[in-house]
């Protein structure tokens, strides 16, 4: 099973210090596959699902970035929470199963496309 690297980052709005979203970024050759997660993935209970936005990112600097960044009119603080290896256990056009090997972010996770939405869940 081929492994890649991942990072887990938290974006916090600087104006009110509230978490804005979390990013799970997985290196895929010359780009990153990115999941924007709006619930803290480290506290998601097994079996629970959360909606995510999936996109491709061509800037590999995100694998090491932490600090302040302005996106549009909004300033956020990006905190690197964890990094490690990830393996793809299974994949299809609408379902992906990953196993993360981070220090704190670990275990098996499933990403499923249902209708127009992507849902992320932690396996038991």
Mean pLDDT (the chain, rounded): 92
- Find the helix or strand (DSSP H, E) in which 13 lies: strand 3-13
User: Under DSSP, is residue 62 helix (H, G, I), strand (E, B) or coil?
Assistant: helix
| 71-99 mean pLDDT | 92
Backbone angles phi, psi at 32, to 5 degrees: -115, 140
In this model, does residue 2 exceed pLDDT 90?
no
- Residue that is written with structure tokens 């990153």 in the block: 32
Q: What is the pLDDT of residues 7-48, one digit of tens each?
A: 999 999 888 777 789 999 999 988 999 999 999 999 999 999
- Tell me the three state secondary structure of residue 78: strand
Give the pTM. Answer: 0.90
- 19 token code pair: 């978490």
Structural domain boundaries in the chain:
3-122
Query: Using CA atoms, how far apart are residues 59 and 32, in angstroms rounded to an integer?
Result: 7
């Amino acid at each position: 099973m081929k492994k890649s690297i991942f990072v887990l980052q938290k974006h916090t709005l600087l104006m009110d210090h509230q978490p804005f979203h979390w990013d799970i970024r997985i290196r895929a050759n010359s780009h990153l596959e990115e999941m924007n997660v709006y619930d803290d993935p480290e506290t998601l209970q097994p079996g629970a699902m959360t909606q995510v936005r999936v996109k491709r990112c061509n800037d590999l600097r995100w694998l090491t970035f932490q600090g302040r960044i302005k996106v549009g009119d909004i300033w956020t603080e990006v905190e690197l929470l964890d990094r490690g290896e990830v393996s793809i256990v299974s994949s299809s056009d609408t379902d992906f199963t990953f196993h993360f090997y981070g220090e704190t972010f670990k275990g098996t996770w499933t990403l499923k496309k249902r209708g127009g939405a992507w849902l992320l869940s932690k396996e038991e």
